[in-house]
A and B are shown apart, each in its own frame.
Chain A
Amino acid sequence: MTDSNYYTYLLRLADDSLILGQRLSEWCGHGPVLEEDIALSNIALDYVGQATNLYKQLSSTDSLGRDEDAIALTRQESEYTNLLLLELPNGDYAQTIARQYFYSSFYLLFLEQLKLSSDAFLAGFAEKSIKEVKYHMQHATDWMLRLGDGTAESHQRMQHAVNALWPYLGELFLNDALDESSVSEGWGVNRAALKSSWMDRLQSLFGEARLEIPTESWHHKGGRSGRHTEHMGFLLAEMQYLQRAYPGAKW
């Protein structure tokens, strides 16, 4: 593997976790009930913790000698490599839960493969993260059932959320040249190969939750190349505010 391929691969995983953690943290203090406020804050912390591990590892080989905070919090928008799904605004609770379900059911499958990586750091990272993501998926599944197969309003909101997020899910399963070379070298994961188990599980859940699976096949992409949605700029303005206003600030 080349150093720069490995770096970019880790950066993608780190950015995914950081951006999702940032979005989930926006619910803190605003959850629909106390237990959900705490649940989402805990889940946000899990993702920020994963991002921290990854950025620390990145900082040890960073060509500009940046520490983990600088890598995480001072890049330009076009330098972030996260999936577009994760930077979308939270929307209502149904949309947040739908995103949680779609992403954590994918991410669990991804980590189960990553655990088999020939790279010790990635395998260890996957093993540790699986414990957290199993819980995220359980939580999201329970809520998908309750909201989908709930009241008329919860069902309508959940179906609307599913339809709104659907065009962003294709990107999860895209393999680009970096993914393909990481797979052939034995340390990365074939994302496209995860799609059929992900879909099987989704179909059985949606059946129980009385939700329709959208038929839309066009999907957004561009996150991996730094081409983001119009929402990313606002997210970064909030996330980076402190580090930019007080460079080098520490707790």
Chain B
Amino acid sequence: MAIENARDVYTRRMEGVSIWVVRSSDIVASSPADKDFMYEPANDKVYRHPTFYEIPPEVGHM
């Protein structure tokens, strides 16, 4: 049922190729309080962002 719910809620707009369902007690996740130092530094390094490349159509969605 969780797979069906995920399929209905998250893959409507061509975003899905595979769905994994895991018990939340088995997940180890980063803390939301650490968001700043984990992820912010990457935002102002534009030269690392892959937005300038033209992706050939055969590659599909990346």
Residues of A in contact with B (beta carbons under 8 Å apart): 34-35, 38-39, 42, 135, 138-139, 142, 146
Contact = CB atoms under 8 A, between A and B. Distances in A.
B33 interface: no
A139 B4 contact: yes
Contacts of A42: 8, 12
Closest 5 CB pairs of A and B: A35-B5, A39-B8, A38-B8, A38-B9, A142-B1
B10 to A, nearest CB: 10
10 contacts: A35-B9, A38-B12, A39-B5, A39-B8, A42-B8, A42-B12, A135-B7, A138-B4, A142-B1, A142-B4
Contacts of B4: 39, 138-139, 142
B contacts with A: majority SS? helix
Nearest to A38: B8
A contacts with B: majority SS? helix
Interface in B1-33: 1, 4-5, 7-9, 12
Best-buried of A35, A39, A135 by chain B (most CB within 10 Å): A35
Nearest to A40: B8
Contacts of A146: 1
Given A34-B9, A38-B8, 9 more contacts: A35-B5, A35-B8, A35-B9, A39-B4, A39-B8, A42-B12, A138-B4, A139-B4, A142-B4
A146 B12 CA distance: 25
B12 to A, nearest CB: 7
Nearest to B7: A135
A246 B19 CA distance: 44
Contacts of B5: 35, 39
A42 B10 CA distance: 12
A5 to B, nearest CB: 38
Contacts of B8: 35, 38-39, 42
A16 B8 CA distance: 23
A201 B21 CA distance: 28
A148 to B, nearest CB: 15
Nearest to A33: B5
A35 B4 CA distance: 9
Contacts of B7: 135
B58 to A, nearest CB: 24
A35 B1 CA distance: 10
